[in-house]
Amino acid sequence: MARGKIQLKRIENPVHRQVTFCKRRTGLLKKAKELSVLCDAEVGVMIFSPQGKLFELATKGTMEGMIDKYMKCTGGGGRGSSSATFTAQEQLQPPTLDPKDQVNELKQEIDMLQKGIRYMFGGGDGTMNLQELLLLEKHLEYWISHIRSAKMDIMLQEIQSLRNTEGVLKNANKYLLEKIEENNNSVLDANFATVETNYSYPLTMPNNGNNNNIPSFAKANYFPYGIDFNGGPTGRFCNGLTMVDGIAQLLGLPLIPAYSEATGDQVLRGVNYASAAAGILPDTGGNFVGRIPFDQQIHNFETTLNQVASKSGGAVTIADSVARSLFFIGMGSNDYLNNYLMPNFPTRNQYNAQQFGDLLVQQYTNQLTRLYNLGGRKFIVSGLGRMGCIPSILAQGTDGKCSEEVNQLVLPFNTNVKTMITNLNQNLPDAKFIYLDTANMVKDITTNPAVYGFTTLDKGCCGIGRNRGQITCLPFETPCPNREQYLFWDAFHPTEKVNLIMAKKAFAGDRTVAFPINIQELASLN
């Protein structure tokens, strides 16, 4: 049935009229904003209430700017009378006063505003007459209008920024979906490598590709990762070499292959069992889907040992080689970044900082003891750096300063790990554990950046958003050209230059960065 035409007429009830005015006004302004966003149009709306209150909206810039633009487009007159337009401008631009009158007027406004503040917060005499209240209301409405206009400008800038990155994000999403599909088809075909001879100083190290062939969002096997690495992207979360790549070079060893990719004699020179996003706790990194927790990494090492022993037939020789090998282990950061600090994980509600640090190191001790029982004797254990200063954490703040809350959060872990190192050295016969104080290493760099040639300490070289840390390095994103001047490569990881500096400090540094001995001294022990 056809709907008849509705006749509009004035609402007689003043209360109903005021309620309707508020609702319709809000709807009109909302529609104006939607029109501006959807169609990229400039919309200006001015509404005067029955009481004479002004409500205005300028979706781009200010109302004064829109009136100026309107005047230019209409030649100063427009469809209405020129006198009406002039009167509107006069209302927006009061007549010029001489300096004395301006000073007196400002003093009166200041007195009135101070009195208004005392009135609102209950200080002073706390009384205002009707005229003063009306004047205060006028000022508040004026500033609210300006605040809303400024807020709209910021929102529009954010929208434009998001539009600028939309293409990059779409390409990245397409790329990641393709890689997940590839992984789903290939992960079942992965096999362990078999070996026939002995180890020679293998190191377990930060991830360099073990996540490449599992369904995981924690991957770095795409450009611009590896932009400065000979061979391009491998899975290393860096523009080039990692810290342990640098240590391997200082030991005169080749770069260590990933466990998932090591074949034949490669295994004999060392294997990397590490996995991005993995932690000491098995649940850590679940937000990235696939990863290989530390317990599973140890199991993979045990599998390799069994395969080597079965092929070589010399269990005693294998045990001797493992005892001479170096084990580099750097765990814990993901247990904070991808567990304790994640809102969808329960650990922060279950444990305070000290309790969580105790929990981690208790589990860590058991895991390192398990490696010892598998034959390991020389261990390099890396502590945590100042995690509150990485771009990912900096981007969550607004003042550009390190989060001391996060820095204090990880202190119990580092303290407990140092105690753990001492206890393991005392309780496990022939074992030699050393601790790398990465926080002190980085502190030396950040305290003396010019000495090392760094100019940018608070932004990632590759990333999007505040501090280039809100979204980490995406596929085919263009990184900074002056990478040697950046402390951080992406939202979480240091650049190759920082890694090599830390490798040298760990290899031959004093007791402030490596104790009870450094890596060079550890490698020379029989």
- In the chain the domains, ranked by start, together with CATH numbers, are 14-160 (3.40.1810.10), 190-391+405-458 (3.40.50)
Question: Picking from 135-139, 182-186, 208-212, 469-473, which range would have the lowest pLDDT averaged per residue?
Answer: 182-186
**Residue 4 confidence (pLDDT) above 70:** no
393-429 core/surface letters (b: 16 or more CB in 10 A; e: else): bbbeeeeeebbeebbebbebbbebbbebbeebeeebe
Confidence check: pLDDT of 297 > 90: yes
Residue in the block written with tokens 């005892």 = 323
Question: Which residue did the predictor score with more confidence, 376 or 321?
Answer: 376
Residue 67, pLDDT score: 84
> Among 220, 205, 320, which Cα is nearest to 271's?
205
Query: For 433-450, how does the pLDDT look when each residue is reduced to its tens digit (9 = 90+)?
Result: 999 999 999 999 999 999
Q: What is the average per-residue pLDDT within 501-518? A: 97
Backbone angles phi, psi at 258, to 5 degrees: -70, 150
**Other CB atoms within 10 A of residue 93 CB:** 10
CA 278/CA 298 separation, integer angstroms: 12
d(Cα 417, Cα 411) in Å, to the nearest integer? Answer: 10
* pTM, entire model: 0.64
Count CB neighbours of 47 within 10 A.
14
Q: Which residues contact 160 (CB under 8 A, 6 or more apart)?
A: none
Say how far apart CA 62 and CA 43 lie, in whole Å. 10
Distances (CA, A) of 267 to 192, 202, 221, 273, 440: 11, 8, 21, 11, 33
What pLDDT is recorded for position 125? 57
Q: Span 190-195, mean pLDDT?
A: 25
Burial of 329 (0-12, 13-18, 19+ CB in 10 A): buried
DSSP 8: P
Q: How confident is the model at residue 81 (pLDDT cuts 50, 70, 90)?
A: very low
